Amino acid sequence: QVQLVESGGGLVQPGGSLRLSCAASGFTFSTYWMNWVRQAPGKGLEWVSTIISGGGVLGYADSVKGRFTISRDNAKNTLYLQMNSLKPEDTAVYYCAKDFGRGDSLDYWGKGTLVTVSS
């Protein structure tokens, strides 16, 4: 069974940094595109970034470009999101999600990890 478990969320001050991790299991992690998606309080889902199977970055949402970096360690079946220069607007539940194909639908999601950016 596919499992995605996010970790690394917490409270951080504006301008600070945080690194999120997503531990994947139950599928051949190295062959799938992976995504980070977030949901701010009271708002809908917002795509953050996608990384292809080999580690290349498909792209970032305009709201996080230049501040966030997606990466993966296929040997460890782990996806990462390095978040720098955090803003209060980044406050959200961050989800790790597996791509069904290549830029297709997201068929499996983790339960999310909460990031709160506040003084």
In whole angstroms, give the CA distance from residue 82 to residue 35: 13
pLDDT at 102: 81
Structure confidence by residue, pLDDT tens digits, 44-77? 999 999 999 999 999 999 999 999 999 999 999 9
CB 109 within 8 A of CB 100: no
